[in-house]
Structure 1
Amino acid sequence: MAITASMVKELREKTGAGMMDCKKALNETNGDMEKAIDWLRENGIAKSAKKSGRIAAEGLTRVAVSGNTAVLFEVNSETDFVSKNEQFLELLNTLQEVFLANTPATLEDALNLNVAEGTVNDAIVSATATIGEKITLRRVAVVNKTDAQTFGAYMHNKGAISALVLLEGGNEQVAKDIAMQVASMRPVYVDQSEIPAEVLAHEEEVQRKIMAEDPKMAGKPEKMIEGILKGKVSKHFQEECLLDQEFFLDSKKKVAGFLKENNAKVVSFTRYQVGEGIEKKEEDFAAEVAAQMAAAQK
């Protein structure tokens, strides 16, 4: 398989490895991105194996709470200029109101809800025609709580990132602090018990290969090796598990410790970041300017 520059660039962004190492990894794995990440890690080259989605689309996310109901949603546009457009912001206000009132279970349900323009989908089509850019409702999540539970909501940079946390116990300030933790530190799971078995098995396989190449492991009893393996796998997932992360307001504490001090327990969390996982065409501005200058001279 031919290895392209964009493939090398993507692998560099995902691993932090050098360009030539990324190219070699892709050649060694016939262009398979996931296998190339593992190859770099197994050879001690990758700085990070965190597979965060590429941030490429524009728009805004929104989180809002009303009583025992909270909603998160993301609306995308083609350029970041639209996120400051009054009509775009008014569309988000309309969506927030209708989603809180009707609690849609799916994206399809959300698009079919009734608003002044007809349906939510009609309102989005209308905004696309008026603003002049493609506008899309990408995703929506509704979370309900009991009277005894607490919501924590946080929006960063006017909606570049939105986070919602549901707690048992604690209070609104504790919940907001944890929502800020989720927004800034990007956990994937509440704790390691949530990690899917296949994800754990994959990481164990990677760590076994790394340990097999480590001369310090030679001659160690199997029981000891298994213990070391378990520790390495656990350490790998600490950054992805909310309770294992360092608390952003006090690096001497883990999030689990902060919650315990405040008699709180995380039930769930949701985090949206604008455009995560969506690729958009990269613009070559130098080439664009050169083309415009050439056209002007004709």
Structure 2
Amino acid sequence: MAITAKLVKELREKTGAGMMDCKKALQETDGDLDKAVEYLREKGMSKAAKKADRIAAEGSAHIVTEGNTAVMIEVNAETDFVAKNDQFKSLLDDLANHILNQKPESVEEAMGQKLHGEGETLEEYITAAIAKIGEKISLRRFEIVEKDDNSAFGAYIHMGGKIGVLTLVEGTTDESVAKDVSMHIAASNPQYLSREDVAKEVVDQERETLKQQALNEGKPEHIVEKMVEGRLGKFFEEICLLEQDFVKDPDQKVKKYVESKGGTVQSFVRYEVGEGMEKRDENFADEVMSQVKK
């Protein structure tokens, strides 16, 4: 039987499942709407769809390395409780290993790929996990990093996955050096690698702000420029990794520490789970109580 767009739309409105899932369900059931609804329920897709508009800002960062390739992912869930269970941890590992090996360009591309190159897609796999775990789960972002044989990855997961950092240090194969830098990044949250990476408009805006502050303090105009440049240096120390005081040895900068080990920091990625996302107002205990009272 030919599957029409109208039929797909009707099934989607009945179940809330995705368009491709609805089309597949209709194909599997030869266009029988009722059987297609049941098919989606059995697969857990309609249950997952009902959770699609719920807030999932908890979860975990996860890192997998293999040879000269590493990947860090962020996967979100609704509660911190679920993010700690074994099913969720297994899901993290499956998704990270898939991305490490298949190297998709985007989350959208990854979701349409067959898990490990065979069977169900990542989207179907996550949908099934939602049905089992009972919470909205989503792959939010990932970063793939490549290195050569004379470099090291610094892989660091903090607070059980609340913060993840993946650093690439060139010139040394000592992973402990790279991990030290990643631990520093987790604690200090630099926004840029070096001052050269800071956009000119950001620097100009900060320079103007510092100038106005100095003038408001009543400083003579002829010394304001020197003051501004001095304070601008402090600004770079706050936001640029290489210019920050190294947390394990505040008497030296991060750049000097890495150089003393024969390396240079090439790049870093820092994920803080849920950053920039809307948070749930209620806590898990309140949710449990609300369910008990129903």
Q: TM-score if structure 2 supplies the norm length?
A: 0.74
Shift of residue 117 of structure 1? 5.4
Deviations 1:131-151 (A, max 9, x none): 111000000110111222221
CA distance in 1: counterparts of 2:245 and 2:253, whole angstroms: 4
Contact 1:98 1:113 in 2 (8 A): no
Q: Is 205-214 or 58-67 further displaced after alignment?
A: 205-214
Larger radius of gyration: 2
User: Root-mean-square deviation (CA), in Å?
Assistant: 2.5
TM superposition shift of 1:104:
1.7
Q: Which residue of 1 aligns with 2:133?
A: 131
Structure 2 residue 101 is the aligned partner of structure 1 residue 98: no
| Residues 285 and 92 of structure 1: CA distance in aligned 2, closer, same or farther (over 3 Å) | closer
Cα displacement (A) at 1:225: 2.2
Per the alignment, do residues 58 and 287 of structure 1 end up closer, same or farther by CA in structure 2, a change over 3 Å counting? closer
Q: How far apart are the structure 1 equivalents of 2:287 and 2:67? A: 50
**Contact persistence 2:150–2:171 (CA under 8 A):** yes
Q: What do residues 94-120 of structure 1 show as CA deviations (whole Å, max 9, x unaligned)?
A: 112111111222111221221165111
Q: CA deviation at 1:180?
A: 1.1
Is this contact kept in 2: 1:99–1:110, CA < 8 A? yes
In the comparison of the two structures, how many residue pairs are matched? 236
In 2, are the aligned partners of 1:117 and 1:123 still within 8 Å (CA)?
no
CA contact (8 A) 2:153 2:167 kept: yes
Alpha carbons of structure 1 residues 173 and 284: separation in structure 2 relative to 1, 3 Å: closer
For residues 30-57 of structure 1, what are the alpha-carbon distances to aligned partners after superposition, in whole Å with 9 as ceiling and x for unaligned?
A: xxxxxxxxxxxxxxxxxxxxxxxxxx92
Give, in whole Å, the separation in 2 of the partners of 1:291 and 1:194. 49
Quote the Cα distance in structure 2 between the aligned partners of 1:174 and 1:292: 48
Moved over 2 A (4+): 283-293
For residues 169 and 291 of structure 1, the distance between their equivalents in structure 2, rounded to whole angstroms, comes to: 56
Q: Conserved in 1, the CA contact under 8 Å of 2:156 and 2:166? A: yes
2:208 alignment partner, one of 180, 205, 209: 205
1:268 and 1:289, CA in 2 relative to 1: closer, same or farther beyond 3 A?
closer
CA distance change for structure 1 residues 288 and 74 in 2, over 3 Å: closer, same or farther?
Answer: closer
Residue equivalent to 1:277: 276
Q: Cα distance 1:241–1:123, how it changes in 2: closer, same or farther (>3 A)?
A: same
Residue type matched to 1:146 in 2? D
Q: Give distance in 1, aligned partners of 2:291 and 2:127.
A: 31
CA distance in 1, matches of 2:290, 2:91: 36
Separation of aligned partners in 1, 2:286 and 2:136: 24
1:53-108 residue CA offsets vs partner (Å, 9 max, x unmatched)? xxx92101101211110101000000011112222111111112111111222111
Q: Which residue of 2 aligns with 1:243?
A: 242
Which residue does 2:142 correspond to in 1? 140
Which residue is equivalent to 2:160?
158
Unaligned runs of 5+ in 2: 1-55
Q: 1:119 maps to which residue?
A: 121
1:179 is aligned to 182
Q: Percent identity?
A: 41
C-alpha displacement at 1:281, in angstroms?
Answer: 3.3
1:192 aligned partner: 195
Q: Deviations over 1:226-269 (max 9, x none)?
A: 22212212212312111111111112111122112112111100
Q: Which residue of 2 aligns with 1:69?
A: 69
Deviates more, 1:260-269 or 1:226-235: 226-235
- Contact in 1 for aligned 2:211/2:225 (Cα 8 Å): no
Q: What is the CA deviation profile of residues 174-223 of structure 1, one whole-angstrom value per residue up to 9, with x for unaligned ones?
A: 111111111121111111111011111111121122112012x12x42xx
Structure 1 pair 290/62, CA: closer, same or farther in 2 (3 Å)?
Answer: closer
Contact 1:203 1:233 in 2 (8 A): yes
- Note closer, same or farther for the CA distance 1:288–1:125 as it changes in structure 2 (3 Å cut): closer
Which residue is 1:25 aligned to? Answer: none
CA distance in 1, matches of 2:287, 2:64: 40
Relative contact order, CA 8 A, sep 6+: which one is greater? 1
